[in-house]
Amino acid sequence: MSDREGARPLRIGVLGCADIALRRMLPVIVGAESARIVAVASRSRQKAERVAERFGCDAVTGYRNLLARDDIDAVYIPLPPGLHFEWIAEALHAGKHVLAEKPLCTTYSETVALMKLARERNLVLVENFMFLHHAQHTVVRGLVEESIGRLQVFSSSFGVPPLNPESFRYQPSLGGGALLDVGVYPLRAAQLYLPGELEVLAATRRMDPVTGVDVAGSALLVTPAGVTAQLDYGFEHSYRCTYALWGSGGRISLDRAFTPPEQLKPLVTIQQQDRLTQLNAPADHQVRNAFEAFVAAVRSGTGAPRAEAEALRQARLVEDVRQRARTV
């Protein structure tokens, strides 16, 4: 962006009125000094007007009509995953930077194509894994070496009770299924701590015969050095949202790893021989931090090369899990 553009708030357009946008991201954008919402688009004029009135912006009928506006610098896309490729590509062709909810795409090849397009057009494209921007993970990383010794096993679980049957999460054509919705979190968390290229050794997926989507699964991964990752996820579970690191001298575990409320001081538990230590990480606002990181990437004018590499690695792992999985 030019110096003049950098001096004013980043002008944001929103494609879609998804629940995550209304509950989490749009309130953050409204409260940010670095950006302002210019317009929100929906296929339904009535829905667009309701959301626009709530957040003090313009209502637009149809996503292309929003992308055609010249008073928008970047777009936030909270659409179902099956629609991401089409509308991220449209946004990039329209010259807009893009912050898109995870997963960025439903396939690795689509992710590669979009990252290439963003590079060619010198635009920022970021996959919105908000949990990565919470301070609790920095706390855990700082404790790993001194508390548990040599890391041997990473484990993570993210499970939720059955969701609204009308949700896109139960529609294959919209990119539904537990792997793309909750399974991507343990996969992404493993990459915080396990260096090198992860290999998927085995995986399972439990399919719902009525909807045709996966509702539960697991995966076993390994690093070149032999450290393993044991991951579980699903839509048929009591709520669980955790990861743990087990090493030669102890074990660190973290609850509410992916969805901590901003007022929560997350509990970190360290188990060592004859010693149990619990401490609280600082409360943090991962949604706000994630959005401000996107704004900073746009402002820098250098793109987001790290975000690109991480999104490509994540997409490859998701595809490897899908291809290796045995249906159970």
**Amino acid (1-letter code) at residue 60:** V
* Catalytic, out of 96, 102, 116, 265: 102
Residues of the chain with pLDDT under 70: 1-6, 302-303
Q: What is the pLDDT of residue 301?
A: 76
- Write the Ramachandran bin of 16: left for phi over 0, alpha for psi from -120 to 50, otherwise beta: left
Annotated active-site residue 47? The verdict is no
Domains annotated on the chain, with CATH: 3-128+288-308 (3.40.50.720), 134-284 (3.30.360.10)
Place of tokens 């990459």: 191
Q: What is the pLDDT of residue 145?
A: 82
Q: What is the pLDDT of residue 3?
A: 41
CA dist 304 and 300 (Å) reads 9
- Using one digit for the tens of pLDDT, what is the confidence trace for 258-292? 999 999 999 999 999 989 999 999 999 999 999 99
The answer to whether 286 and 133 have CB atoms below 8 angstroms apart is yes
pTM of the full structure: 0.95
Q: What is the pLDDT of residue 217?
A: 98
